[in-house]
A and B are shown apart, each in its own frame.
Chain A
Amino acid sequence: MEDQVINKSTLETGEMVLNMGPQHPSTHGVLRLKIHTDGEIVSKIEPVIGYLHRCFEKHCENLSYEQIVPFTDRCDYLASMHMDHAFSISVEKLLDVELPERVEYIRVIIAELQRIASHLVALGTFGLDVGAITPFTWAIRDRERILDLFEALCGARLLYNYIWPGGVSHDLPPKFVERTLDFLDYFDPQIDEFNNLLSTNKIFIERTADVGVLPPEVGINFGVTGPSLRGSGVNFDLRKNEPYSIYDKFDFDVPLGEGTMGSVGDTWDRYYVRVLEMRESAKIIRQACAQLPDGDVHAAIPKKVRPAAGEVYGRYESARGDVGFYIISNGKNIPLRVKMRSPAFCNLSVLSEIAEGWMISDVIAILGSLDIVLGEIDR
């Protein structure tokens, strides 16, 4: 780099270009942020991505639809069930199958459990970025219980390959529903404990309230979705507005940011929306477990997934926002083109807009509140 050596000739008092490099404890993956700073105040941020590009879309052009599902897992590895589910519902629109009720209920239970797990990581690492180390260990401890449930279900802890087009790969093991309800009973007071430690902590509020305010119009214009947009007060949740699967049968609220600790749409709001969403997910899981019907989960899985020719854009609400799969099929069992619209891709692009004028510590806090996963951004 040009100005690596700090000696008298390069010691100007003007702008400094800082590289929050691909390796950094806080960038949630291999992300490079080129930060132009004046002292501590940031004047311009340029995210550079592509360090984790694994040619997901090119691979899809050589794999059959069932073979693509494990690849979608690895895009957003912290919410793999959501990726599987999103891909499956997109393919099912082309396949035009009738799914058994039990499959839909299982998928909803699993998706909401995955949402809780993903939010726990997001909140824990956000606390870590701001300096509080203990909430991270508590969040991970609770997440381990969910991962134990998933391990009993399909054998994997992180990348599941569970939700296939047409059904799911395994039926629920015995006592799964009891264990899930036990977990939820254990989990509800844990959220209160977490809030006591972090959310209502004065220092945390000072670090995050009024920082990085995302105005709703800017958010929509940049394509921000998910908890990041709901933190700005925009009531848009795909599960309510454009319900897919059987989400219209459940009764749950959509938490919005209200500016409780500062302005609407600041970092605290985005963080707290995730905390509230975990409670709502717990509500959904309880309702789904109570209504779970019997059935055969493998009944509708086709021998060969050969969707009709055509295009489809399937939308899904994952933990990070609005996942879209644009699939072009020509009638064969291998897709012609698969494009994945990842929510974190758009969420990250808004960073350059809302982080200007803040200090470096604030950039870290804002980045943490946007909750990005590089695997999904780079695919």
Chain B
Amino acid sequence: MTSIIDSLVKSFSSFNLDLVVLLPVITLIGGTVIFLIMAVNALIAVYFERKISAFMQDRLGPMEVGIFGFKGGKKFWGGIGQTLADAIKLLVKEDILPNNADKFLMILAPFIIFTGAFLTFIGLPFAQNVVISDFNIGIFYIVAMSSIGVIGVILAGWSSNNKWSLYGSMRAAAQIISYEIPIGLSLLLVVLVTGSLHLGDIVQWQADHRWFIFHSPFTFLAFFIYYISTIAETNRTPFDIPEAESELVAGWMTEYSGFRWALFFLSEYANMLIVSIVASIVFLGGWLSPMQMFNILPDSWLFLDGPVMGFFWIMFKAVVLIFIMMWFRWTFPRLRVDQLMYLCWKVFIPFALANLFFVSLWELIF
């Protein structure tokens, strides 16, 4: 796969500029694109979360705020501009830092979380040849970068100087770090079969053979272990013990207001997008259309294919996975901390390890 950075470098080389000047400009362009993706994703995801939760709870959700003159009347899409209005409100809100809090760490924490999500987007492809930077250690890079966020969470809870925030961040630290293990083990299955960490190679393997979720019963199980573990990673119900609203007010985010809080939220939705896209690339065929689920149709029969449709398919699968995450949030109660830990260490990790073993057997036999 060629990456955007490479293609940009090629197209800008006609300007005959020195590389020292070229590279910052291109990285700036890449960075802005990522930031725009994160912002737009947060806007849309928050709006959909509110509407979906409203419809599940037999109410309507935001209905009043229109956007750029378009109001939608009494139709169910009435409040389209609500998130934009909320974002603007958060930007102009007063920034409160508690007196006895550790100010430097408190200011630093949201940026660390944001940076973790930001860096992950660099290696995440959105279609064939649409990736900011083409790492040949694709998956490894993504898993590594998404682990940076936990440091921000711990700092946020600690620096707030609030016992409830401390509780939240300690729980979060335990939870996020523990659930990275089943994630890594499930992804390892895929790497084992394809023999490469590169995301493009993984999708290519799926194009040549079949979608990973149908590869063997073990990868089918691995998909579910991966999916549920990512729900725990991103602190969504039923695993939202760190930000449990009814127990800890807002957990580790209690003392944050205004734009810093918006950064936390931005990163949470960005994380949801990241894990959904990774799940759809690794297990569900990425930018391949459903026609290529089993690779039984001859190539000439394939339609709904191609680079533009590839973007549509990846986003479609990711959106379905995000919808299911939101569905879970408004249906299930939350697990208690020790039940959460039990689930990770005594259920998921043994199953993931067993999976690994059996998939290698499968590969040997078939």
Interface residues of A (CB under 8 A from B): 4-6, 16, 18-19, 24-26, 40, 127-134, 137-138, 141, 197-198, 201, 203-204, 206-207, 359-362, 364
Contact = CB atoms under 8 A, between A and B. Distances in A.
Contacts of B237: 131
B163 A137 contact: no
11 contacts: A4-B100, A4-B161, A5-B100, A6-B161, A6-B166, A24-B249, A40-B338, A129-B247, A131-B334, A132-B332, A203-B334
B330 A26 contact: no
Nearest to A5: B100
A23 B336 CA distance: 22
B337 interface: yes
B337 A203 contact: no
A33 B53 CA distance: 32
Of B53, B246, B331, most buried by chain A (CB within 10 Å of CB) is: B246
A17 to B, nearest CB: 9
Interface of B: 53, 56-59, 100, 158, 161, 163-164, 166-167, 237-238, 240-241, 244-247, 249, 330-339
Nearest to A6: B161
A137 B338 contact: no
Classify the secondary structure of A's interface with B. helix
A131 B337 contact: no
Nearest to A1: B163
Of B161, B238, B247, B337, most buried by chain A (CB within 10 Å of CB) is: B247
Of A19, A25, A201, most buried by chain B (CB within 10 Å of CB) is: A25
A141 B237 CA distance: 23
A138 B161 contact: no
Contact of A133 (B163, B241, B330): B330
Contacts of B331: 132, 134, 197
Of A19, A203, A204, most buried by chain B (CB within 10 Å of CB) is: A203
A359 B336 contact: yes
Given A203-B334, A359-B338, A25 B58 contact: no
A78 B69 CA distance: 43
A201 B331 CA distance: 10
A26 B339 contact: no
Given A131-B240, A201-B332, A5 B249 contact: no
A25 B246 CA distance: 5
A289 to B, nearest CB: 27
Of A18, A19, A360, most buried by chain B (CB within 10 Å of CB) is: A360
A110 to B, nearest CB: 26
Nearest to B59: A137
Contact of B56 (A26, A130, A134): A134
A18 B165 CA distance: 12
Given A134-B56, A198-B333, A361-B244, 6 more contacts: A5-B161, A6-B166, A127-B333, A130-B246, A130-B334, A133-B57
Nearest to B163: A18
A364 B339 CA distance: 16
Nearest to A25: B246
Of A25, A361, A362, most buried by chain B (CB within 10 Å of CB) is: A361
Nearest to A18: B163
A356 B335 CA distance: 20
Contact of A40 (B164, B330, B337): B337
Nearest to A129: B246
Contacts of B334: 130-132, 203, 207
A163 to B, nearest CB: 32
B333 A131 contact: yes
A362 B246 CA distance: 12
A6 B102 CA distance: 10
A201 B332 CA distance: 8
A316 B29 CA distance: 73
A207 B100 contact: no
B224 to A, nearest CB: 16
Contacts of A129: 246-247
Contact of B333 (A5, A18, A24, A132): A132
A201 B330 contact: no
Contacts of B339: 206-207
B335 A206 contact: yes
B334 to A, nearest CB: 3
A201 B333 contact: yes
B332 A131 contact: yes
Nearest to A19: B163
Contacts of B335: 203, 206-207
A359 B246 CA distance: 15
Contacts of B247: 26, 129, 360-361, 364
A203 B56 contact: no
A130 B240 CA distance: 11
Nearest to B58: A141
Nearest to B247: A364
Given A6-B161, A131-B246, A133-B57, A362 B336 contact: yes
Nearest to A4: B100
A371 to B, nearest CB: 15
Contacts of B249: 24-25
Contacts of A207: 333-336, 339
